[in-house]
Amino acid sequence: MKENKKPILISGMKPTGKMHLGNFFGSLKQVIDLEDKYDNTYFIADFHALTGVKNSKEFRDNTWDLALDCLGAGLDPKKICIYKQSDVPEVTELTWFFSCLINVSYLMRAHAYKDAQAKGEEVNCGTFSYPILMAADILIHKSRFVPVGEDQRQHIEYARDVAEKFNSTYKKIFPIPEGVILESVGTVPGTDGRKMSKSYNNTIPLFATHEEIKKAVMKIPTDSKGVEDYKDPKECFVFKIHSLVTPEGELSILRKRYLEGGIGYKESKELLVESLDSYLKPFREKRSYYEKNPEEVKKILKKGADKTRKRTQETMAEVRKSMGISFLK
Ligand code: ADP
Ligand code: TRP
């Protein structure tokens, strides 16, 4: 029997460092914004992080911090189910089943794998089959929607292909998931103008202090136009971040000043620091509440995993049956 008739939406994030503005706007915020429309789940993708992080303390701390970050950033556990991937082991079983359907040559086309190879990095088997684990994360929920940032587009394509391959080989069990990639967010620029990313050391962390925010914002590169010059807001990294955190009224005044002249980049950056401070203040307060209440956080994660396992066990029973694996009972 169906527990909930709303379409299922799922997304997750790897615990590989401090959550930043790109992660929040590209992924988590969308799940929060859609909490009333769909049956939403967000998970901490700790198995995915294992491809890189090998230090157990760092691994544990990152996982815990990401749980605090999600709750601090406004994920309401009464509305959105949150769990840690490693608490739902069914996903690894499904990953194996999918691995036996997907060809190596197809996985070799994955951007993440190709980039690592191009850089001459050693690629472990986990990194190579990352798209299969991600497909399993998504499909085991029978998700319809997957909000992610632009850089995950190819991974969603893989999940769709895996679903089609399974459905045509065995039985039509999996809906074909759709990525939800917001044009209005696009790729959030980092403090060096490239994509904001933990791996580029160019982030504005979501829980940064005022001083840290100021230091980061002042680093954002701009062109050499003077105060009175026309500036194209679309070409400006500072304005791009304004468009995410500055209230609409102030944003349209700012846009006008960019177009008509009368604002320098220094002032625009100072205004951005103010906007970020007020946008992030409630986040800091909420995170510090959860930090002081670790037992509550543990309970939330446990409850999320229990709820998820009911669903994943149901899916796996269907999957095993369709594959001819479970025929004794
Ligand atoms: P990072 O590049 O910092 O390691 P992740 O790969 O952990 O980020 O991404 C977590 C989620 O955040 C993904 O859905 C990803 O698409 C999204 N994301 C990451 N960076 C950005 C960005 N700069 N702009 C928009 N979305 C982003
Ligand atoms: N690959 C995603 C990232 O790097 C994290 C992730 C793992 C994910 N499994 C997922 C996102 C399933 C959405 C759905 O950010």
C-beta 58 within 6 A of ligand 1:
no
1 pLDDT tier (thresholds 50, 70, 90): very low
C-beta 152 within 6 A of ligand 2:
yes
What are the pLDDT digits (tens) for 270-287?
999 999 999 999 999 999
C-beta 13 within 6 A of ligand 2:
yes
* Stretch 202-209: mean pLDDT: 96
Beta-carbon contacts of residue 203 (< 8 Å; ≥ 6 apart): 18, 20, 21, 22, 190, 191, 196, 197, 216
- Relative orientation angle of helices 90-99 and 130-139, to the nearest 10 degrees: 120
**CA–centroid distance, residue 113 to ligand 1 (Å):** 17
Q: Which of 9, 10, 23 to mutate to test the pocket of ligand 1 (most atoms within 8 A of CB)?
A: 23
Confidence check: pLDDT of 2 > 60 = no
Q: pTM to 2 decimals?
A: 0.94
Beta bridge partners of 221: none
- For the chain, the C-alpha Rg in angstroms (whole number) is 21
**Is the C-alpha dihedral spanning 197, 200, 204, 208 positive or negative?**
positive
Side chain identity at residue 83, one-letter code: Y
Q: Which of 48, 95, 113, 132 to mutate to test the pocket of ligand 2 (most atoms within 8 A of CB)?
A: 48
What are the pLDDT digits (tens) for 64-109?
999 999 999 999 999 999 999 999 999 999 999 999 999 999 999 9
Q: Which of 63, 152, 162, 198 to mutate to test the pocket of ligand 2 (most atoms within 8 A of CB)?
A: 152
First to last CA, the chain: 20
What are the pLDDT digits (tens) for 148-193?
988 899 999 999 999 999 999 999 999 999 999 887 778 899 999 9
C-beta 197 within 6 A of ligand 1:
yes
β-strand pairing of 145-147 with 81-84? unpaired
C-beta 14 within 6 A of ligand 1:
yes
3 pLDDT tier (thresholds 50, 70, 90): low
Domains and CATH numbers, the chain: 8-187+294-323 (3.40.50.620), 207-287 (1.10.240.10)
Two tokens at 79? Answer: 């509305």
